């Protein structure tokens, strides 16, 4: 029994060791992620950008031995982890090579990076963003986007996927915008957050447990419209837009 446990631990250790990765030195830059399915972004305190494959890398079929994976755009796997990376100064663009669903890619992102993610694929899966302090620019068609421990600034939209975000604090450095056309937008912020919430729903409702104040406009009236209104939290602060076309917006305090 003892030997069996040891053997299982050893297997786990070997698998961990076998996790494949690609590293770029430097604590700041622009990171572009184009059409890569199943991505996780994790904040990092290290002065390097690391991309890991979660699990074992997708193996090309036996029949492909001696052949090269052809990508119509001319990209090749120059990272050893099934991705193509191109460099322009301190700007790095990662692209998927294979059409197979493959494994999840985990990007460990230093906070000095500015992250751009775009995906239009049905197979994009959930985009996880954890503890990332870098500025985020996300454009998705089908992804669900789940964020935790984030601060902003950020601009995120998904046509079909929902967006759920738990902020550790709300940065006052720049605007925050979360927009889903067909799904919910569900956001939690710390109780001491200072923000101007711009809340917009076309066919859904807005739900919140925050006492928002509603500013008067220049004509002395409060213009309240159930589909589009601005509410200030703790006297107001950074512009924070939450928008859902066909579903609800949930705004919670932690």
Binding mask 8-47 for another protein (x = CB under 8 A): ----------------------------------------
User: Is the CB of 13 or the CB of 203 nearer to another protein?
Assistant: 203
Cβ contact 90:26 at 8 Å: yes
Please tell me whether residue 59 binds another protein under the rule CB under 8 A: no
142 class by beta-carbon count within 10 Å (0-12 exposed, 13-18 middle, 19+ buried): middle
DSSP assigned state of 62: G
Q: Quick one: which of 15, 47, 78, 99 contacts another protein (CB under 8 A)?
A: 78
d(CA 12, CA 30): 34
Residues 6+ apart with CB under 8 A from 197: 212, 230, 231, 232, 233, 240, 241, 242, 251
User: Is the CB of 153 or the CB of 231 nearer to another protein?
Assistant: 153
- Residue 174 Cβ vs another protein, minimum distance, rounded to whole Å: 3
Nearest CA to 110 out of 53, 177, 165, 31 is that of 31
Is the torsion defined by CA of 14, 15, 20, 21 positive or negative? negative
Cβ contact 203:234 at 8 Å: no
Q: Quick one: which of 42, 57, 159, 232 contacts another protein (CB under 8 A)?
A: 159
Place of tokens 């959930």: 126
d(CA 83, CA 36): 9
User: Is the CB of 12 or the CB of 174 nearer to another protein?
Assistant: 174
User: Is the CB of 103 or the CB of 178 nearer to another protein?
Assistant: 178
Nearest CA to 146 out of 137, 135, 156 is that of 156
User: Is the CB of 154 or the CB of 206 nearer to another protein?
Assistant: 154
Q: Quick one: which of 153, 161, 162, 204 contacts another protein (CB under 8 A)?
A: 153
Helix (H, G, I), strand (E, B) or coil at 184: coil
Q: Quick one: which of 38, 108, 116, 128 contacts another protein (CB under 8 A)?
A: 116
- Residue 218 Cβ vs another protein, minimum distance, rounded to whole Å: 12
User: Is the CB of 86 or the CB of 99 nearer to another protein?
Assistant: 86
* Segment near another protein (CB under 8 A); pick from 46-54, 114-122, 183-191, 210-218: 114-122
How many residues touch another protein under the rule CB under 8 A: the total is 34
Binding positions for another protein, rule: CB under 8 A: 73-76, 78, 86, 88-89, 114, 116, 118, 135, 137-139, 141, 152-157, 159-160, 173-175, 177, 179, 181-182, 202, 239, 245
């Amino acid at each position: 029994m003892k030997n069996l446990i040891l053997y299982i631990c050893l297997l786990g250790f070997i698998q961990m060791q076998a996790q494949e990765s690609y590293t770029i030195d430097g604590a700041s830059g622009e990171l572009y992620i184009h059409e890569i399915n199943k991505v996780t972004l994790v904040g990092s305190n290290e002065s390097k950008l690391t991309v890991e494959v979660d699990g074992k890398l997708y193996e090309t079929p036996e029949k492909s031995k001696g052949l090269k994976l052809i990508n119509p755009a001319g990209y090749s796997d120059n990272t050893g982890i099934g991705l193509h990376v191109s460099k322009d100064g301190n700007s790095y663009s990662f692209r998927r090579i294979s059409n197979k669903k493959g494994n999840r890619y985990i990007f460990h992102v230093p906070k000095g990076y500015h992250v751009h993610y775009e995906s239009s694929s049905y197979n994009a899966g959930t985009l996880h963003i954890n503890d990332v302090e870098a500025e985020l620019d996300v454009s998705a068609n089908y992804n669900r986007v789940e964020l935790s421990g984030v601060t902003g600034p950020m601009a995120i939209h998904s046509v079909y996927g929902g967006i759920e975000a738990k902020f550790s604090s709300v940065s006052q450095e720049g605007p925050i915008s979360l927009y889903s056309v067909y799904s919910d937008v569900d956001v939690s912020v710390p109780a001491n957050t200072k923000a101007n919430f711009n809340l917009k729903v076309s066919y859904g409702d807005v739900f919140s447990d925050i006492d928002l104040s509603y500013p008067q406009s220049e004509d002395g009236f409060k213009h309240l419209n159930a589909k589009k209104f601005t509410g200030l939290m703790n006297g107001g602060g950074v512009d924070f837009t939450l928008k859902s076309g066909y579903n609800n917006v949930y705004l919670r305090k932690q």
